[in-house]
Amino acid sequence: MGSAVLLTIILAYFALLMGIAFYTSRHSNNESFFIGNRNSKWWVVAFGMVGTSLSGMTFISVPGTVGRSGFDYFQVVIGYWLGYFAVAYILLPLYYKLQLTSIYTYLEKRLGTTAYKTGALFFILSRTLGATLRLYLVIKVLQLFVLDNMGISFEVTAIVILALILLYTYRGGVKTIVWTDTLQTTFMLLALLVCIGYIMHALGMGVGDTWHALTGNGYTKMFHFDPLPGNFFLKQLFGGAFITIAMTGLDQEMMQKNISVKTLKDSQKNMLTLSFLQAFVVFIFLMLGGLLYLYGMSKGGSFQQVMTNGKMDTQFILDGKNIMGDNIFPTIAFHYLPPFIGIIFIIGLISALFPSADGALTALTSSYCIDIIGLKRRTDLTEKQRSRKRLIVHNMFAIIFLGFVFLFREVDNGSLIQTLLVVAGYTYGPLLALFAFGIFTKRKVMDNALPIVCIAAPILCYIIKEHDKQWLGGYVIGNELLILNAALTFLLLISCSRREEREIPFVKASNETMTVKQDVDL
């Protein structure tokens, strides 16, 4: 199968997205872009968000993890499932009660402008890093297996893909993305099922035989009960739960789609449906990972222990090349399976890419416009002027995405799913602490100390994590890094907060109303 055929398929897919974007963006305005006019169907949002929550990172990296760690990633997924319930019944009622367009305006109402701006900036940093990391991974695979053979450079690939994403999101925003995500999730899941079905057929296995083979090779091992390593069950469980609360419930991209649903009840249905769908789909991706290694072994592949940078490293060698981790799925799909599987893989890959990239670009534009420059509050601007400023910001973030994609190419370590979780641990911790402080206390933080606290806590976490084995008696900090970061931030916020004196009404027995001063927690 030639690279030109694959490129044609990619362009045809873009053409389909453009058609949907054109149809859904008719008569759209700024409210359509930001929250879809609060008229999205909950079941459409739920299904489309499967693609957003999984992304190309899941499509490529999760199957690759099975060779080293079996199914232990599913411990994190169980935590995700628990986290969705917290989002549905704690955060969503709050957002609907306040009728928020940007969820960070809650921080302004509760803690003031400094907290509001700080929270929004941490989201912008977090989502920019996470989205560009996912985007880089998919561009890397397209480049390595399709476009290098055609003499197209990595730089050109990245620029063209971002330009195409801009084309179908610049007008419709959330109103468009709700439907394009649904289409892309459908293609991603079809690609997953077709690849699994073909490999099982090629190996001559049914479902029972497949599970037996995966278990026999140790791939289905899921739970770990040694509390010291990073893969301890409770670390993964609680880490996963708080990752979901932070990366979904406190993330403008994910909540922007949820609050585009008309009612709270329907939005909660969307969230709970997503929790079950995501758990099921990730489990299937883990099964695919095991099957890929089984198929590789049937072609002569084997696991080998190799000394790398002074440490023993497990590698999967096939035809003299290490394809462990992120490389196994694309390598098997393009070089060892029939051409039509390569086509299916490409469709699935780009379907996994765009729900995360387009949604992030739209959410970042929304957050910057609403939270940082206060676009909706500008009464001196016409609707046309607001739209012009929004488009400038949209283009600005596309350029920032491009810069980070180039940066990640320089620091790629070959398995990016863990890198993504570590980045989330450092950047979402302060955001989680700000919301927790606002919801569960009634105190007021000193404005000048708040940004310092939110920067200091991640730095302290980094220092602790770098010395965790030495300082903590062999204990390794895993996905609970986010919890540690949020807890440190929360404690520092408490130390910088105060009981504020305010006037409250007091009614005397004579029904004469007077005012007294009283110390109260704010």
Using one digit for the tens of pLDDT, what is the confidence trace for 142-163?
888 888 888 889 999 899 888 8
> What pLDDT score was predicted for residue 420?
80
Asked whether the CA dihedral 138, 140, 141, 146 is positive or negative, the reply is: positive
Contacts of 454 (CB under 8 A, 6+ apart): 118, 122, 430, 433, 434, 489
Asked whether the CA dihedral 63, 64, 69, 70 is positive or negative, the reply is: positive
Q: Residue 236 corresponds to which tokens in the numbers above?
A: 């993964």
* Residue 16 buriedness (CB in 10 A; 0-12 / 13-18 / 19+): middle
Q: Bigger pLDDT: 371 or 21?
A: 371
Whether 180 has a pLDDT exceeding 70, the answer reads: no
Q: How far apart are CA 347 and CA 339, in angstroms?
A: 13
- Residue at token pair 């695979």: 141
SS3 of 218, please?
A: coil
Whether residue 53 contacts residue 248, with contact meaning beta carbons closer than 8 Å, is answered with yes
> What pLDDT score was predicted for residue 513?
43
Contacts of 412 (CB under 8 A, 6+ apart): 136, 140
- Residue 273 corresponds to which amino acid? T
Q: Bigger pLDDT: 227 or 47?
A: 227
> What pLDDT score was predicted for residue 130?
86
> What pLDDT score was predicted for residue 195?
93
Highest mean pLDDT among 127-141, 411-425, 433-447: 433-447
Report the pLDDT averaged over residues 334-349.
Answer: 87
CA 347 to chain centre: 20
Report the pLDDT averaged over residues 8-26.
Answer: 72
Nearest to 342 by CA among 357, 356, 331: 331
> What pLDDT score was predicted for residue 504?
40
Q: What are the backbone angles phi and psi of residue 310, rounded to the nearest 5°? A: 80, 5
Whether 519 has a pLDDT exceeding 50, the answer reads: no
Nearest to 350 by CA among 3, 27, 50, 60: 60
Q: How far apart are CA 359 and CA 135, in angstroms?
A: 12
Exposure string for 452-465, b = 16+ CB within 10 A, e = fewer? ebbeebbeebeebb
- Residue at token pair 């100390």: 449
- How many residues are recorded in the chain? 522
Whether 450 has a pLDDT exceeding 60, the answer reads: yes
Q: What are the backbone angles phi and psi of residue 77, rounded to the nearest 5°? A: -65, -35
Whether 7 has a pLDDT exceeding 90, the answer reads: no
Q: Bigger pLDDT: 107 or 22?
A: 107
Contacts of 319 (CB under 8 A, 6+ apart): 300, 301
Q: Residue 407 corresponds to which tokens in the numbers above?
A: 């940066």
Whether 50 has a pLDDT exceeding 80, the answer reads: no
Q: Residue 174 corresponds to which tokens in the numbers above?
A: 């959330």
Whether 430 has a pLDDT exceeding 90, the answer reads: yes
> What pLDDT score was predicted for residue 505?
43
Q: Residue 410 corresponds to which tokens in the numbers above?
A: 């320089």
Whether 268 has a pLDDT exceeding 70, the answer reads: yes
> What pLDDT score was predicted for residue 26?
55
SS3 of 29, please?
A: coil
Express each pLDDT in 371-389 by its tens digit.
888 887 777 878 788 888 8
Query: What is the CB-side half-sphere exposure of residue 359 using CA atoms within 13 A?
Result: 35
Nearest to 138 by CA among 72, 186, 184: 184
The secondary structure element, H or E, covering residue 20 is helix 3-24
Whether 403 has a pLDDT exceeding 90, the answer reads: yes
Q: What are the backbone angles phi and psi of residue 488, rounded to the nearest 5°? A: -60, -45
Distances (CA, A) of 68 to 63, 186, 284, 293, 419: 10, 29, 17, 11, 16
Report the pLDDT averaged over residues 94-117.
Answer: 89
The neighbour count for residue 430, using CB atoms within 10 Å, is 31
Whether 43 has a pLDDT exceeding 90, the answer reads: no
Q: How far apart are CA 308 and CA 214, in angstroms?
A: 27
pLDDT interval class at 470 (50, 70, 90): very high
pLDDT interval class at 518 (50, 70, 90): very low
Nearest to 141 by CA among 304, 342, 295: 342
The secondary structure element, H or E, covering residue 499 is strand 497-507
pLDDT interval class at 213 (50, 70, 90): very high
Q: How far apart are CA 424 and CA 447, in angstroms?
A: 25
> What pLDDT score was predicted for residue 374?
85
Whether 287 has a pLDDT exceeding 50, the answer reads: yes
Report the pLDDT averaged over residues 177-181.
Answer: 66
- Residue 482 corresponds to which amino acid? L
Per 3-state DSSP, the chain is made up of helix, strand and coil in percentages (nearest 5) of: 75, 10, 20
Report the pLDDT averaged over residues 198-209.
Answer: 94
Domain architecture of the chain: domains with CATH: 3-409 (1.20.1730.10)
pLDDT interval class at 354 (50, 70, 90): low
Share of the chain above pLDDT 90, in %: 40
Q: Residue 518 corresponds to which tokens in the numbers above?
A: 């009283």
The secondary structure element, H or E, covering residue 394 is helix 383-411
> What pLDDT score was predicted for residue 178?
64
Q: Bigger pLDDT: 183 or 46?
A: 183
Q: What are the backbone angles phi and psi of residue 212, rounded to the nearest 5°? A: -65, -45
Q: Residue 209 corresponds to which tokens in the numbers above?
A: 């035989």
Nearest to 147 by CA among 130, 167, 161, 134: 161
Give the DSSP per-residue string, 100-115.
Answer: -SSTTHHHHHHH-HHH
pLDDT interval class at 345 (50, 70, 90): confident
- Residue at token pair 């060698």: 317
pLDDT interval class at 172 (50, 70, 90): very low
Q: Bigger pLDDT: 420 or 435?
A: 435
The reply to whether the predicted model has a pTM over 0.85 is no
SS3 of 303, please?
A: strand
SS3 of 311, please?
A: strand
Share of the chain above pLDDT 70, in %: 83
> What pLDDT score was predicted for residue 116?
93
Query: What does the radius of gyration of the chain's CA atoms come to, in whole angstroms?
Result: 24
- Residue at token pair 């055929």: 5
